[in-house]
Amino acid sequence: MKQILLVTGRSGSGKTSTLQVLEDLGFYTIDNLPLSLVPEIVNKLSTDPAMDQLALGLDIRNLQPDQISIDEVLSELRKIGTVEVLYLTAREEVLVSRYASSRRPHPLVHRFESLTECIRVEEELLYPVYRRATLTIDTSSKTVHELRHTLSVKLGQGDKLVVILQSFGFKHGIPLDADYVFDLRHLINPHWVNELRSYTGLDQQIQDFLSADEMVNAMYDDVHQFLEKWLPIFSQGHRHFITVSLGCTGGQHRSVYFVDRLAKALQAKWSVQVLHREMKHWS
């Protein structure tokens, strides 16, 4: 079942920042979809197993009554997953101040004469959605870091660090987004065993081959112990995600095996995301 989060609320209350935070927390985000297209888009995405968490941004322009109501949308979405409606709000004077500093126009600016009138009318128009909200956050005094913490708690992740484990091949370049890089090229290479070459580190044949090697296990133990020791420290330092990249020559066997093995070991304590960068190159 998908976890679907509809993100809406008063313009200027932080929807864009919220979607960026949700993306960091592992959600696949889409902003400003017309309400009538939401069920169709989500139905298409529902077949992708990599998109278990979806966050859809809706503002007053999307939520104007047209061909479909918010209740119809929620009914359709609940057929394919659990649905939460996150409503963002802020005090009127805060919204006025934010618009003054950003100098961006309010979405209703072409319909009403003053910013204050736009803000008040929008609140009335959004009331039916507000009544259906399952999560409400007042961003009036929140920094982006405080918003991230609030979202983590409300969405059930708490302050758990998100650990991104990434396999890659050095011949395709070192990933620029890595916090830590471990080089596995010195380990025994299944590529040079003809009957193993076509497999990947996710296949049992490769896993059996590598796990039987003493040096592979010693390297794994060192990396695992390093992460077990330091991840709690990173988490206490208010880190919300960290990328650990493990590389071999081509990114198909050793690095993939290490990422898979580490993910299984760490997922009991941490929120783990797995990325195999070179999957498109696998034979």
Residues placed in the known binding site for ATP: 9-16
* Span of 9-18, 133-142, 182-191, 219-228 with lowest mean pLDDT: 133-142
Nearest to 38 by CA among 3, 87, 88, 72: 72
Q: What is the pLDDT of residue 75?
A: 85
- Which residues span the domain enclosing 99? 2-154
Residues 214 and 98 in one domain: no
Lowest mean pLDDT among 169-183, 235-249, 255-269: 235-249
Question: How many domains, the chain?
Answer: 2
Tokens of 78: 């609940």
Looking at the fold, whether 68 and 131 belong to one and the same domain comes out as: yes
Last residue of a domain, one of 119, 154, 189: 154
Which residues make up each annotated binding site for GTP? 59-62
128 and 214 assigned to the same domain: no
User: Measuring CA to CA, which residue among 186, 137, 130 is closest to residue 21?
Assistant: 137
Task: Look at residue 191 and tell me whether its pLDDT is greater than 60.
Answer: yes
pLDDT of residue 189: 98
Q: Strand 135-138 relative to strand 81-89: parallel, antiparallel, unpaired?
A: parallel
pLDDT at 50: 64
Specify the amino acid at residue 168.
F
Residue 225 sits in the same domain as residue 112: no
Specify whether 243 is located in the same domain as 144. Answer: no
Q: Are residues 98 and 205 in the same domain?
A: no
* 65, pLDDT greater than 60: no
Judge if 36 and 146 occupy the same domain: yes
Question: With pLDDT > 70 as the criterion, what percentage of the chain qualifies?
Answer: 93
Kindly state whether residues 95 and 190 are assigned to the same domain: no
| Listed residues 154, 179, 200: the one ending a domain | 154
81 and 64 fall within a common domain: yes
CA distances from 65 to 16, 43, 72, 91, 92 (A): 23, 22, 12, 25, 24
Report DSSP letters for 4-43, one per residue. Answer: EEEEEESTTSSHHHHHHHHHHTT-EEEES--GGGHHHHHH
Q: Are residues 20 and 138 in the same domain?
A: yes
Asked if 33 and 113 sit in the same domain, the reply is yes
End-of-domain residue from the set 137, 154, 171 = 154
CATH of the domain at 128: 3.40.50.300
Q: What is the pTM of this model?
A: 0.58
DSSP one-letter string for 106-143: PTTTTT-SSHHHHHHHHHHHTHHHHHT-SEEEE-TT--
Q: Which residues are annotated as a binding site?
A: 9-16, 59-62
Shared-domain flag, residues 79 and 178: no
